[in-house]
Chain A
Amino acid sequence: MSKFKDKDVLLNVRDLRIDGFSDETWVPIIKGVDLTLHRGEVMGLIGESGAGKSTIGAAAMGYARDGTRFSSGSIEFDGMELSTATEAERRALRGSRIAYVAQSAAASFNPAHKLIDQHTEAPVHYRIKKRMESQEDAMTLYERLRLPNPSEIGFRYPHQVSGGQLQRAMTAMAMSCRPDLIIFDEPTTALDVTTQIEVLAAIRDIVDQFQTAAIYITHDLAVEAQMADTIKVLLKGEEVEEQSTEKMLDDPQEDYTKSLWAVRSFQRPQKQRPSDGSAPLISVKNIDAAYTGGVKVLDDVSFDIYPGMTVAVVGESGSGKSTTARVITGLLPPSQGEIFFKGQPLPPGYKDRTREQLRQAQMIYQMADTALNPKVKICDIIGRPAEFYSGLSGPALKQRVDELLDLIELDPAKYYNRYPPELSGGQKQRIGIARALAAQPEFIICDEVTSALDQLVAEGILRLLDRLQKDLGLAYMFITHDLATVRSIADEVVVMQNGKVVEQGPKDVMFTPPHHAYTDLLLSSVPEMDPNWLTTLLEERGVDNIGEAATQ
Chain B
Amino acid sequence: MTFALGYYVALIASSCAAAFYEKRSLFMMLFSLTLISFVVGIVGGEGALRFIATSAGLLALAAGVSYAFKEFLVQISRPSLAKELKTAPLTAAFGMFVIFTYAVAGIFAPWIAPYGESEIVTSAFAQRDENLLLGADQLGRDVFSRIVYGARNSVGLALLATCLAVIIGALSGLLAAVKGGWFDNLMGRTADVIMSVPSLIFALLMLSIFGTALWVIVIIVAVIYSPRVFRLTRAVAGNIVVMDYIEAAKLRGEGDWHLIRKEILPNSTAPLIAEFGLEFCFVFLLIAGLSFLGLGIQPPTADWGSMVRENATLISFGDITPLIPAGAIALLTVAVNFVVDWMLFRSSGLKEV
Give residues in A with beta carbon < 8 Å to B: 21, 24, 66-67, 329-331, 350, 353, 355, 358, 362-363, 365, 367, 370-376, 384-385, 388-389, 435, 439
Contact = CB atoms under 8 A, between A and B. Distances in A.
B255 to A, nearest CB: 11
B89 to A, nearest CB: 15
Given A376-B262, A385-B252, A331 B247 contact: yes
Given A373-B266, A373-B267, A374-B267, A365 B248 contact: yes
Given A373-B267, A376-B262, A376-B266, A358 B243 contact: no
B253 interface: yes
A355 B251 CA distance: 9
B46 interface: no
B254 interface: yes
A370 B239 CA distance: 11
A371 B245 contact: yes
Nearest to B268: A375
Nearest to B245: A373
Given A66-B352, A367-B244, A372-B245, A330 B266 contact: no
Contact of B251 (A358, A370, A373): A358
B179 interface: no
Contacts of A67: 352
A67 B351 CA distance: 10
A225 B266 CA distance: 46
Contacts of B250: 331, 350
Contacts of B83: 24
Contacts of B245: 370-373
A435 B263 CA distance: 15
A324 to B, nearest CB: 15
A502 to B, nearest CB: 28
Contacts of A371: 243-245, 248
A370 B243 contact: yes
B251 A331 contact: yes
A385 B83 CA distance: 34
Contacts of B267: 373-375
B353 to A, nearest CB: 9
B254 A388 contact: yes
Given A67-B352, A373-B263, A373-B266, A350 B251 contact: yes
Contact of B248 (A330, A353, A363): A363
A463 to B, nearest CB: 24
B82 to A, nearest CB: 12
19 contacts: A21-B352, A329-B251, A331-B247, A358-B252, A362-B251, A363-B248, A370-B243, A370-B244, A371-B243, A371-B245, A372-B245, A373-B263, A374-B267, A375-B266, A376-B262, A384-B252, A384-B262, A388-B253, A388-B254
Given A362-B251, A371-B243, A389-B252, 9 more contacts: A331-B251, A350-B253, A358-B253, A363-B247, A363-B251, A365-B244, A370-B244, A373-B245, A373-B263
Interface in B234-283: 243-245, 247-248, 250-254, 262-263, 266-267
A439 B254 CA distance: 13
Most buried by B among A358, A363, A375: A375
A435 B248 contact: yes
A331 B241 CA distance: 14
A370 B263 CA distance: 12
B315 to A, nearest CB: 51
A66 B350 CA distance: 12
Contacts of B243: 370-371, 373
Nearest to A367: B244
Task: In the A-B complex, list the 7 residue pairs whose CB atoms are closest, starting with the nearest.
Answer: A375-B266, A371-B244, A373-B245, A365-B244, A370-B244, A358-B253, A370-B243
A439 B352 contact: no
Most buried by A among B245, B250, B266: B245
Interface string B147-178: 00000000000000000000000000000000
Contacts of A21: 352
Nearest to A21: B352
Contacts of B86: 24
Nearest to A330: B251
Nearest to B87: A24
Interface string B210-251: 000000000000000000000000000000000111011011
Contacts of A24: 83, 86
Contacts of B266: 373, 375-376
A331 B254 CA distance: 14
Nearest to B86: A24
Nearest to A385: B252
A305 B113 CA distance: 79
Contacts of A388: 252-254
Contacts of A376: 262-263, 266
A330 B252 CA distance: 11
A329 B250 CA distance: 10
B320 to A, nearest CB: 46
B253 A355 contact: yes
Contacts of B254: 388
Contacts of B263: 373, 376
Contacts of A375: 266-267
A8 to B, nearest CB: 39
A363 B245 CA distance: 10
Nearest to A67: B352
A365 B263 CA distance: 17
Nearest to A372: B245
A329 B266 CA distance: 26
Contacts of B262: 373, 376, 384
Nearest to A371: B244
A330 B245 CA distance: 16
Interface in B15-44: none
A355 B252 CA distance: 8
Contacts of B244: 365, 367, 370-371
Nearest to B240: A373
A275 B86 CA distance: 68
B177 to A, nearest CB: 16
Contacts of A353: 253
A367 B245 CA distance: 10
A66 B351 CA distance: 11
